[in-house]
Amino acid sequence: MKSEEKITLADGFPGKLAQPARRALVTAGIRTLAQLTRIREDEIRKLHGIGPKAIAQLALALAEADLSFAPDHREESA
């Protein structure tokens, strides 16, 4: 078994999410789709291993679960 295969995430994450993105999420302590709702998209983008494709996959998975990244409070107060 490859070391990458040991990284398992809870159901809800895209099946085709690349291993670098999976490692980035696990390293950040994110193991469920619901945990992403507490983190702003711009913060997820800063993780090493998370690129535009991973963001798009995660955003789609969140939308399909009727969830979203945490809101950016700066936008709400504008």
pLDDT tens for each residue of the chain, 78 residues long = 344 444 445 556 888 999 999 999 999 999 899 999 999 999 999 999 999 999 999 999 999 999 999 998 765 555
pLDDT at 11: 56
Tell me what percent of the chain is helix, strand and coil, each rounded to the nearest 5. 55, 5, 45
What is the rounded distance in angstroms from the CA atom of residue 75 to the CA atom of residue 24?
26
Closest of 18, 14, 8 to residue 60, by C-alpha: 14
What is the rounded distance in angstroms from the CA atom of residue 57 to the CA atom of residue 71?
18
Q: Which amino acid is located at 6 in the chain?
A: K
At the top level of CATH, the class of 3-77 is: mainly alpha
pLDDT at 72: 85
What is the rounded distance in angstroms from the CA atom of residue 16 to the CA atom of residue 9?
12
pLDDT at 7: 47
Give this prediction's pTM: 0.79
